[in-house]
Amino acid sequence: MKKESFNIEDLIKILDKNKLTEINYEEPNFKITIKKPLEVASQKSVEKIMPKIEKEVKVNTKEILSNSIGRFFYKTSSGDDIISVGDQIKVGQDIGYITTIGVKNHVKATVSGEIEEICLENGGIADYGKVLLKVKSN
């Protein structure tokens, strides 16, 4: 019998494809549960929020999004900043890392410019597509 092996991305794809809100995967020495938050919003509340959001977005502000899930760190283990608001960054530059099940994955800048906002606290939870940084592009 062939043993199937899944990675976290596969589980998330299954979750999304089948429109599930929770998925569990278990092996003898490993167990993971992935939950998707319930989206409960009335049409009227969404319409009230949308104009405010559109006004806040600046034309030359770009977002750097998470391409994995885990905890996002932009400080070293000794507490030194890898990046901070006001720093100039370039495409491909390390801007931090995301740890998932103890594995550290470096996050690289996808745009160049000045960091306007760091959208998560150091060690905050990053999901797929979650905004990590807002950058004023050059």
pLDDT per residue as tens digits for the range 48-94: 555 554 445 556 889 999 989 999 999 988 889 999 999 999 999 99
pLDDT per residue as tens digits for the range 21-39: 888 878 887 788 888 776 6
Asked whether 90 and 109 are in contact (CB, 8 A), the reply is: yes
Say if pTM beats, i.e. exceeds, 0.85: no
**DSSP helix/strand/coil, 48:** helix
**CB atoms inside a 10 Å sphere around CB 16:** 12
Instruction: Give the domain ranges of the chain.
Output: 1-40, 58-137
For residue 56, the model assigns a pLDDT of 53
Which CATH number is associated with domain 58-137? 2.40.50.100
**pLDDT tier, 6 (very low <50, low <70, confident <90, very high otherwise):** low
**DSSP helix/strand/coil, 17:** helix
Asked whether 123 and 72 are in contact (CB, 8 A), the reply is: yes
